[in-house]
Structure 1
């Protein structure tokens, strides 16, 4: 049986009488009171006990906004939220009316992608489907929204969803740009599709399935000249044309200490930023990616990084990489033939035993510590470990090859450790510099850690309703709760963000 009810102004306000130390915002028009930081569920999935514990801790401690999407964990995020909420409601620890639940729609991955293929084969394809990448489609047509809303409500175990967002509809523009379709034509089609979606969503409000709706777009803060720019003023006009009593209430966008566009890019009429336009039109703003800055296609994690115990100089890294290359050459010339393998296996071993060759000439170009860690864990280690395991388990491995393998494993570990230390030291210096720059831009942003500073900068800025932070572990929840218990003055901080933008480029 679905959980009845929906978020209300009275109940959300009562929730914070129990959690009076938590900093909150009030949503315009709706009068819902929400925590200035929301529970982001991007990497949260059912079956993960630590994820369940983290969500339970958040709801019990004063975080009453949950953000998810149909494609997070292939639906597993919504299922986990539905389960935890039901348990807490059954035990009278919260009421349904105290919690604001946000979900999103648009992506076809995993189950949804397979579903779309089945519908196509049955002669009932979803209209206006955008083929974005292999195994990834996108759609905001009413037929798809109808299907997905029903599934989201079922997974969340809710009768009514408080907020339903179109999830990155600008994927259509990215697709159109690659074709290429003339910009005017692409934008005309784009906003026509959004209008159709809004008309469906208004009917969903009438039917009691959702309370309000909006758009989550990575391109709200983009320059107006950008092909994929999503113009909030145009979307507002669409909502107004549908009806003056429309329920378009929400905007979600990326913003952080390094991606300042929402507060610094004047892409709206009269020289306003998207944040200023939203505030002037009483739209609630949810900020995503507060701790994951993507600048020039590189990810910087806005969290403290400790210096390495043993720093590595560029010369030490080069020497370690060269040692691996020499050993890989030795294996190819002296040991491979003696293993008596077929040609395909020989080639695969050479490809996988290539830590040195992969890094040679490339090791200084991974950009950030996070990017290096991703390359190391997702590409280099799985390949090299597979090859090492293959050789280790091979019966009658020649003694010379076994000695070589031991030497190579040690050399590869030294090279990888040296490179990790090199990037870790760079990251430690950079994160310290980012925090110093932020505090210099606005002393009110001072906090104990960089992650707290990053969140405080956002929640202290007028126009931002809540900051969505991934909280997969209880320690992340406790870190956020510690900051939320520290009140900050919410005011126009446009000048601070402009200073941050200018100084972070130096």
Structure 2
């Protein structure tokens, strides 16, 4: 039983829950059931077998400080309300799992380099990220490479990921404890769901305590398409406050060290789904949650998206506002920017390599367009149905739009894979059905061979077009890398007197260095799935001390970065 509710929270949860997820909800493969009427949150039980946990305890101020004292070149920050010392570079575990040996090698290398912050989430890979973190850390604990008390583990919950496509939506009708973003995407921060997710996270991580637990992107709930009138902001603020009141009991029970919010909108006042930190803080007066347990926020920051740290004349940035309340700031997405309607990957491989690849790819594209065009002429000779033959003009359509496609790699890739190839398949199916319906045709085998070859040629061409678009993106990144290097000589570089050897992506290191250097950002979370990525990130973090406030201001004024912020 959870017996440490505040008076206000106790009164709320002793009543039957009107906002339950359902009498039985499958969440990531485990069945959870709510107790009978009047039992409240405390009697929610898990039907399943708990895995054994081997890591006891949690991060402590003395242990984290002692660990990082062995890595003096890596910058650190202190979690104000807990006294924990964190490396300003964190291991982001969005796309890692146990099936990739490189992922394990990367995490081990990061820890060896002094990185003592690991950020994951219950929905990353349907829990495989947490499982990977748990297994890898468990091995490191047993080898005494690092102690549990020295590492800060952060996880999150909110996304509801059904284990199958047969999610029980019928059982959830008229229940307001979750948001239905679509027929297959749901979100919840209700205490019933949070309790379940914390238990599952601890099992997968093989731990008995999370250092920080975060509500993950609660603003998604504003996109509810099922609730009459939608999910209002006032309703969401109430949900957040109730979640915080519940999480206070988890802190007192010793299952989490503190809580926070990870959001893509908390730092941008101009967006429709913006959540105000000031408004969230005010809710504690009505709901009784404890400010001392609200320890952290997390939001995106990169060279293009700088809202998190940019103070305006009339508006403080989220980082500044959080600092005033001793709330630690994590930043994420340092290498993946959303700017000017595009997704920009801040990575480059070097101009020489790009130029060589560009020449080869242009030659390949020319051959691909010519081959497809010749096949389209052939089909016009093979069949009499002009309406069908005229469907095959894809070589012309794609070549005419190549310049436009190359301006946005991610949009082009999505368009080619989700629109063009399915449309080509539909056209080929029409041709195939029409041919089969004509019993007296003696060239069916020839047309079948043409269909097979056309599909193969189209798939190859679209892949080559996507690669060409990537090269065009790389060209812009090379230009940005060059300009940034000219603006600020203190940036990490793979050339010059102060070069760092074996840098894989100079632009990536610059973006990480910029983020880590921010005074009001405590830790920058970086996806480091390979040891070489760890090398670049650590080099960037160590060099972040070289950037002054003047440098940061000059970087923000880079002409290639202007007019692209949110």
Q: Deviations over 1:26-53 (max 9, x none)?
A: 2222221212111111111232222222
Moved more, 87-96 or 356-365: 356-365
Mapped partners of 1:176, 1:402: distance in 2 = 46
1:143 and 2:192 correspond? yes
Provide the residue aligned with 2:310 in structure 1: 264
Provide the residue aligned with 1:19 in structure 2: 71
TM norm structure 1: 0.82
Provide the residue aligned with 1:365 in structure 2: 404
1:330 and 2:377 correspond? yes
Mapped partners of 1:203, 1:329: distance in 2 = 68
Provide the residue aligned with 2:177 in structure 1: 128
TM norm structure 2: 0.74
Shift of residue 279 of structure 1? 1.9
Provide the residue aligned with 1:197 in structure 2: 243
Q: Which residue of the other structure, out of 525, 533, 542, is the alignment partner of 1:485?
A: 542
1:251 and 2:297 correspond? yes
Structure 2: gaps spanning 5 or more residues: 1-51, 433-442, 495-505
Q: Which residue of the other structure, out of 252, 274, 278, is the alignment partner of 1:233?
A: 278
Structure 1: gaps spanning 5 or more residues: 339-346
Mapped partners of 2:462, 2:271: distance in 1 = 42
Provide the residue aligned with 1:499 in structure 2: 557
1:49 and 2:104 correspond? no
Mapped partners of 1:501, 1:204: distance in 2 = 48
Mapped partners of 2:363, 2:348: distance in 1 = 25
Mapped partners of 1:107, 1:262: distance in 2 = 23
Shift of residue 331 of structure 1? 5.1
Q: Which residue of the other structure, out of 295, 298, 302, is the alignment partner of 2:339?
A: 295
1:107–1:411 CA distance, 2 compared to 1 (3 A): closer
Mapped partners of 2:402, 2:192: distance in 1 = 48
Q: Secondary structure at the match of 1:227?
A: coil
1:166 and 2:215 correspond? yes
Mapped partners of 1:202, 1:5: distance in 2 = 18
1:105–1:441 CA distance, 2 compared to 1 (3 A): farther
Shift of residue 212 of structure 1? 0.7
CA RMSD, Structure 1 to Structure 2 (Å): 4.0
Q: Secondary structure at the match of 1:39?
A: strand
Q: Secondary structure at the match of 2:298?
A: strand
Matches within 5 A, 1:404-423: 413=460, 417=464, 419-420=465-466, 422-423=468-469
Q: Secondary structure at the match of 2:118?
A: strand
1:117 and 2:168 correspond? yes
Mapped partners of 2:98, 2:328: distance in 1 = 29
Aligned length: 481
> Does the Cα contact within 8 Å between 1:320 and 1:411 map onto a contact in 2?
no
Q: Secondary structure at the match of 2:73?
A: coil
Provide the residue aligned with 1:476 in structure 2: 533
1:323–1:198 CA distance, 2 compared to 1 (3 A): same
Q: Deviations over 1:387-443 (max 9, x none)?
A: 89xx9xxxx9857975897698668756753x3564344323311232345456655
> Does the Cα contact within 8 Å between 2:480 and 2:560 map onto a contact in 1?
no
Q: Which residue of the other structure, out of 443, 459, 472, is the alignment partner of 1:426?
A: 472
Q: Deviations over 1:356-415 (max 9, x none)?
A: 366254433333334445555677679989989xx9xxxx98579758976986687567
Shift of residue 124 of structure 1? 10
> Does the Cα contact within 8 Å between 2:421 and 2:459 map onto a contact in 1?
no
Decide which structure has the larger Cα Rg and report it. Answer: 2
Mapped partners of 1:52, 1:498: distance in 2 = 35
Q: Which residue of the other structure, out of 454, 461, 465, is the alignment partner of 2:522?
A: 465
Shift of residue 457 of structure 1? 0.5
> Does the Cα contact within 8 Å between 1:462 and 1:490 map onto a contact in 2?
no
Mapped partners of 1:355, 1:382: distance in 2 = 12
Q: Which residue of the other structure, out of 114, 131, 139, is the alignment partner of 1:87?
A: 139
